[in-house]
């Protein structure tokens, strides 16, 4: 005779089959991904694809938990949290890595890259190799580089179409000593504010404007407080997808392959989407009433000349990398 426990178990199993479900089995590994943008941003959509691919390619052995909008931790804490293993995967903007991987400054250096093809070549070459080595040393394994729309200048009111009009304005920048120096050399007052705090800073007139990207501005509804965008093309940037190295190294070979292949699929999709994302983001600025300006004819040369001291401030090894990607 079956025991009451056995009967109960059989009844439960029968119920699962009748309603078309099965008991949930715990994954072998859990990957937490933290980032500061909303779920509509290109970075978030790329991360969602990466997560879906990883669940599928790992055969369900890796579960993925996504935390957008800095809901798990502030963006400025992401890198250290990943190094400590509090989260397994991060994808912050390049500049957030500057303090632990100095060669990242090649990619945040003002007005160096001409387009995304130029940027891709640098990531796949000597500069990218050096960054990967530097990240490995601090406990992060770089999986991929994902593109972002170009970094532009936004203001809450004043039109800026030449260098003279920028002088004295308080401009927000994302955490980056290099970008602080860039803004200072351009005549602005640089103010470092994490992405999740930009809206309130602009709304409360803590700053007069911001250095950011159209896609980021659109995803966080910064268009509600921004009035102008000047297309200065300060940088063609993006995000480094990185995983805690100890976590990655301990994965079985088949699960490492799943991680690598998922990153590759997401990266390919991101690269195909970036041009359309630039057009869509610029259109979103105009549709929201943000006035879009180009620099006055011939004035770009003045901006390029003004940031030259930023290059001279760098050490010889970084200067060599910059020269190699130009």
Above 80 in pLDDT, residue 144? yes
Q: What's the pLDDT score for residue 11? A: 47
The predicted model gives 94-122 an average pLDDT of: 94
Q: Which residues contact 12 (CB under 8 A, 6 or more apart)?
A: none
Structure token digits, residue 103: 């060669």
Above 90 in pLDDT, residue 149? yes
- The two domains 26-149+237-280 and 151-236+284-325 share their CATH topology (first three levels equal): yes
Could you report the per-residue pLDDT of 108-120, keeping only the tens digit for each? Answer: 999 999 899 999 9
Structure token digits, residue 20: 């078309």
Could you report the per-residue pLDDT of 1-17, keeping only the tens digit for each? Answer: 444 444 444 444 444 44
Q: What's the pLDDT score for residue 219? A: 87
Return mean pLDDT, the chain. Answer: 91
3-state secondary structure 161-199: CCHHHHCCCEEEECCCHHHHHHHHHCCCEEEECCHHHHH
Instruction: Enter the CATH code of domain 26-149+237-280.
Output: 3.40.190.170
Kindly state the percentage of the chain with pLDDT values over 90. Answer: 84
Q: What is the pTM of this model?
A: 0.86
Q: What's the pLDDT score for residue 237? A: 86
Q: What's the pLDDT score for residue 220? A: 86
Sign of the torsion formed by the C-alpha atoms of 151, 152, 153 and 155: negative
Could you report the per-residue pLDDT of 226-244, keeping only the tens digit for each? Answer: 999 999 999 998 999 999 9
Q: What's the pLDDT score for residue 25? A: 58
The predicted model gives 273-296 an average pLDDT of: 96
Higher pLDDT: 242 or 38? It is: 242
Above 60 in pLDDT, residue 30? yes
The predicted model gives 10-30 an average pLDDT of: 56
Instruction: Enter the CATH code of domain 151-236+284-325.
Output: 3.40.190.170
For the chain, which residues make up each domain, given as ranges? Answer: 26-149+237-280, 151-236+284-325
Q: What's the pLDDT score for residue 196? A: 81
Q: Which residues contact 48 (CB under 8 A, 6 or more apart)?
A: 39, 66
- Please give the DSSP secondary-structure letter assigned to residue 156: S
Please, are residues 87 and 242 in contact by the beta-carbon 8 Å criterion? no
Q: What's the pLDDT score for residue 19? A: 41
Which is nearest to 51 in space by CA: 250, 216, 265, 256? 265
CB atoms within 10 A of CB 205: 11
């Amino acid at each position: 005779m079956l025991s009451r426990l056995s009967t109960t178990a059989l009844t439960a199993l029968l119920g699962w089959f009748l309603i078309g479900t099965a008991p949930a089995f715990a994954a072998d590994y859990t990957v937490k991904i933290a980032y500061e943008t909303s779920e509509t941003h290109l970075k978030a959509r790329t991360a969602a694809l990466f997560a879906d691919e990883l669940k599928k390619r790992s055969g369900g052995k890796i579960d993925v938990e996504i935390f957008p909008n800095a809901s798990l931790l502030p963006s400025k804490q992401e890198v250290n949290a990943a190094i400590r293993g509090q989260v397994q995967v991060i994808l912050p903007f390049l500049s957030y890595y500057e303090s632990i991987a100095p060669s990242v400054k090649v990619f945040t250096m003002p007005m160096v890259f001409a387009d995304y093809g130029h940027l891709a070549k640098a990531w796949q070459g000597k500069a990218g190799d050096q960054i990967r080595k530097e990240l490995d040393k601090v406990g992060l394994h770089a999986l991929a580089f994902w593109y972002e729309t170009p970094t532009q200048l936004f203001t809450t009111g004043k039109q800026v179409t030449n260098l003279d009009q920028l002088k004295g304005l308080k401009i927000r920048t994302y955490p980056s000593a290099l970008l602080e120096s860039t803004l200072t050399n351009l005549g602005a007052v640089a103010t470092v504010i994490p992405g999740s705090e930009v809206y309130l800073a602009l709304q409360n007139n803590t700053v007069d404007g911001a250095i950011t990207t159209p896609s980021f501005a659109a995803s966080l509804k910064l268009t509600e407080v921004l009035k102008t965008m000047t297309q200065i093309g300060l940088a063609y940037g993006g995000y480094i997808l990185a995983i805690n190295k100890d976590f990655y190294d301990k994965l079985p070979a088949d699960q490492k392959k799943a991680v690598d292949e998922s990153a590759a699929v997401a990266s390919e999709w991101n690269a195909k989407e970036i041009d359309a994302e630039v057009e869509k983001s610029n259109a979103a600025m105009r549709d929201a009433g943000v006035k879009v300006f180009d620099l006055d004819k011939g004035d770009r040369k003045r901006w390029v000349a003004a940031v030259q001291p930023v290059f001279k401030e760098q050490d010889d090894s970084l200067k060599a990398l910059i020269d190699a990607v130009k």
